[in-house]
Structure 1
């Protein structure tokens, strides 16, 4: 078998083969667990917490910038020996690579989901993640300087990214995601493809984040966002143009909910620009990008939605905040040039690689 199941009716029975000083990390994903208690247990162990956007733990002293830090692979100074992954760990293949680089790879889920997409976990536990971590306190502790290395990398990366983006005026996916840090939403719903990846790379504020994931993650995006907004919380949904059009008839549902849909409109499937498919012209544009050629303002008019557009990146947070304050349903379109966006992602990766290479073990 490629993994071993260890059912643990009592947390002290966790048969995790590690002892003493270790380079350990907790990777926090979604799921059913006490967020504050998880942070406390990780702190007691001395393990840094790499928190995905869907964990709801961003902005609470966790590591958020791993996506760009790991752009050139896992540097030796940041390579863990033990990874404890909690819940589903999100869309980042780079984070998956970090998990795979560890000698001991533990996946824990309180709901009992079999979450091991690469099928390389050394242990899979159906257990309370907090109780499991608490049971390890006293058995394990972080290697001296290990947590400080991750914190240094996080802090230097944030300073470098802020400096890189300071003079940017053309909207990009990264700038839109970072603008959402300044918007007073109480729930954020994120579409599949580039939106969820940009949010995972750049969200820094605390709050509930939800996303439809999987092979059909694009299905029902608008309906999902309306369902979240129907709970009475001011909700922002970050959509790609295709995910919005794919379920635009969801707006036919009745309701007096407060929902602002921010649409990153790059004219189709920009995610594929970073993948090998992009080399196959001339069919690439039609078969993978699938440009829609539709006017979002007309869609908003059809469904009696508020509508606005952002021309300059620095206006995004203000426009979205104003739409949220006005209430009701609205769409904010952010037009993005695909090539500009692709170059921005590359520049951010280069910054992340430089920071990661400078970290001392």
Structure 2
């Protein structure tokens, strides 16, 4: 019996290894490694060597690397077979040789329960590797294939250049282990490997992409990154910039900056550009990321880091450089974006902003509070947002205001938000927007404000629980939702203010709120989770209706 999901996964693995320069593999025979061994042998261009002794096979591969100056893979079955690679792996590490170690493994359900040939193989070479990954089981999930492509792309930076070294992929497989050889075409079809260029790149490689009609720039998370040359490039070539709140350019009021992308992509996922230039890490907006993922047009990703953070979709071209360096070099190229295309985005942006303004005047919920707080900011003020709802509300409502938004969007966790904001407040004027659970999670961090006399405004949106979950499918499970996800804490934060010597004031959603201009202040605002969900979804429907009405005129 043949396993189609396993076939697709293994053939993708071998294809990507070959495309990134692994053209030779030394195979030590075994059962669990069957799918990869057959795939390597069946690949029309992969050179295979069969060596029955894993310890010797590893060193044989090192000889191949020394002779060719190219990466070479070694493959074994599960259990102690993998352990026998250790001497060669340690030698490859110290010699900086690009050895790609493929250890087949038992599936997760057979680990640590006495199954034969099952030892702990995850991270077993961690003292010697530059990169390692425990692959998922073949389950037919499309994201699994994306993960394999991305993982090998990331690991490939250690195949050549000054940072060469050992890469380890642990590959768990369920039976049946035989791949379907009628699908061999999967090993030599698919996307080309991601091409990476640094600041020395030849701008001519970008010309074919920019000649496509009507492109867009997606400015994602670019905290502390100068994007001034991107704004100039956009002005010259009439390119709309869909700006994440963490792009740091919404406050510029630049006419090409589209500040309502999250709303627009919720109601118009079908709009198609000719190309996409992505700058920085992924935007906050889920709807924007969904739109990026579904587009089948050329995409360029610009980030100043060795490992591209490519989510939500692998780009066609990766430029490892600062945005300013990049756009300065691109500014003189011919771009086919029209003034009408830019005007379309500007018109839709204006419609969405108008509906948001009406929402602020007519609705009393968390969303309506944000604009009145934003109106009290200057361009020098730091707006620090907690994860979950605050940063998403920033995306929704920070559309035409002053201030510099920041957030911990590396791991997107709720922990440490208070402490991070206080660290910034030691040097900047900071207003922290945070939910009640996230605030509770890092209340101990408030001690630094007391000990070092650090001024800060902390706006706590207290909806008595995890507001973000009310927007997710879990909310439909009424029997379990409140206890497992809503998690009401029933806390009175006035006691927190007393404990840490903060000023304290409490508001309801329909109150006019004034932020103090100095001091250490906790501003607690009582809101309702269910009302927030209803109001937010109503705003989306109103923006959709307004855009549809405008299209008819």
TM-score of the aligned structures, taking structure 2 as reference length: 0.60
Partner of 1:277: 474
Aligned to 1:96: 289
Q: Does structure 1 residue 354 correspond to structure 2 residue 545?
A: yes
The farther-off stretch of 340-349 and 135-144 is: 135-144
Q: Which of residues 189, 193, 196 in structure 2 aligns to 1:6? A: 196
Aligned partner of 2:258 in structure 1 is 63
Is 1:110 matched with 2:301?
Answer: no
Assess if the C-alpha contact under 8 Å between 1:31 and 1:111 holds in 2: no
CA–CA separation in structure 2 for the residues paired with 1:113 and 1:208: 27
The structure 2 residue matched to 1:289, chosen from 486, 510, 519, is: 486
Please say if 1:41 is aligned against 2:264.
no
2:322 and 2:538 map into 1 onto residues whose CA distance is 40
Tell me, in whole angstroms, the C-alpha distance in 1 between the residues paired with 2:195 and 2:402: 33
Q: Structure 2 vs 1, CA of residues 148 and 235 (structure 1 numbering), >3 Å: closer, same or farther?
A: same
Q: 2:217 aligns with which of 4, 8, 26?
A: 26
CA spacing shift, 1:329–1:31, aligned 2, 3 Å: closer
Tell me the alpha carbon deviations over residues 283-336 of structure 1, each in whole angstroms, 9 at most, x when there is no partner.
Answer: 2111111111111111111111111112244512x2x2xx2x2x2211101111
RMSD: 2.2
How far 1:64 moved relative to its partner?
0.6
Q: CA deviation at 1:73?
A: 4.3
1:187 and 1:340 map into 2 onto residues whose CA distance is: 28
Q: 2:322 aligns with which of 120, 128, 131?
A: 128
The 1:219/1:167 distance shift into structure 2, 3 A limit, reads same
Show the counterpart of 2:422: 226
Is 1:142 the counterpart of 2:333? The answer is no
Alignment match of 1:53 (pick from 245, 249, 254): 245
Q: What are the Cα deviations for residues 73-116 of structure 1, in whole angstroms up to 9, with x where unaligned? A: 4143xx32211111123321111122224312222112345221
Q: 1:259 aligns with which of 456, 459, 474?
A: 456
Output one character per residue of 1:104-150: Cα deviation in whole Å (capped at 9) or x when no partner: 22221123452212343222221122332343343323134100000
- Aligned pair in 2 of structure 1 residues 10, 106: CA closer, same or farther (>3 Å)? same
- The structural deviation recorded for 1:207 is 3.0
SS of the equivalent of 2:508 reads coil
The Cα shift of 1:69 comes to: 1.6
In the alignment, is the contact (CA less than 8 A) between 2:369 and 2:509 conserved in 1? no
Matched, 1:82 2:275: yes
Q: Return the alpha-carbon distance in structure 2 between the equivalents of residues 355 and 120 of structure 1.
A: 34
What CA distance in whole angstroms lies between the structure 2 residues aligned with 1:248 and 1:14?
53
| Closer/same/farther in 2, CA of residues 23 and 359 from structure 1, 3 Å limit | farther
1:18 is paired with a residue whose SS is helix
**How far apart are the structure 2 equivalents of 1:109 and 1:313?**
43
Change (3 A) 1:257 1:14: farther
- Could you tell me which runs of 5 or more consecutive residues in structure 1 were left unpaired when the two chains were aligned: none
**Counterpart Cα distance in 1 of 2:325 and 2:546:** 35
Q: Which stretch of the first structure deviates more once superposed, 350-359 or 337-346?
A: 350-359
Q: 1:199 to 1:14 in 2, by over 3 A?
A: farther
Instruction: State yes or no: 1:183 paired with 2:376.
Output: yes
Structure whose CA Rg is larger: 2
Q: Aligned partners of 1:109 and 1:187: how far apart in 2?
A: 24
Residue 251 (structure 1) shift: 0.9
1:211 aligns with 2:411: no
Q: Which has the higher contact order (CA 8 A, sep 6+)?
A: 1
For 2:205, the equivalent position in structure 1 comes to 15
Report the 3-state secondary structure (helix = DSSP H, G, I; strand = E; otherwise coil) of the residue aligned with 1:219.
Answer: coil
Provide, for residues 262-298 of structure 1, a one-character-per-residue CA deviation record: whole Å limited to 9, x for no partner: 0111111111111111122222111111111111111
- Which residue among 309, 329, 340 is the counterpart of 2:531? 340
Relative distance call for 1:101 and 1:206 in structure 2 (3 A) is farther
Change (3 A) 1:131 1:140: farther
**Could you tell me whether the CA contact under 8 Å between 1:33 and 1:110 is conserved in 2?**
no
The aligned residue for residue 508 of structure 2 is 311
Distance 1:281 1:167, change over 3 A: closer
Question: Is contact 2:203–2:330 with CA below 8 Å preserved after alignment?
Answer: no
Q: Distance between the aligned counterparts of 1:284 and 1:215, measured in 2? A: 25
Which residue of structure 2 aligns with residue 152 of structure 1? 347
Distance 2:313 2:483 in 1: 34
Distance, in Å, in 2 between the alignment partners of 1:72 and 1:312 is: 27
Quote the Cα distance in structure 2 between the aligned partners of 1:85 and 1:123.
Answer: 10
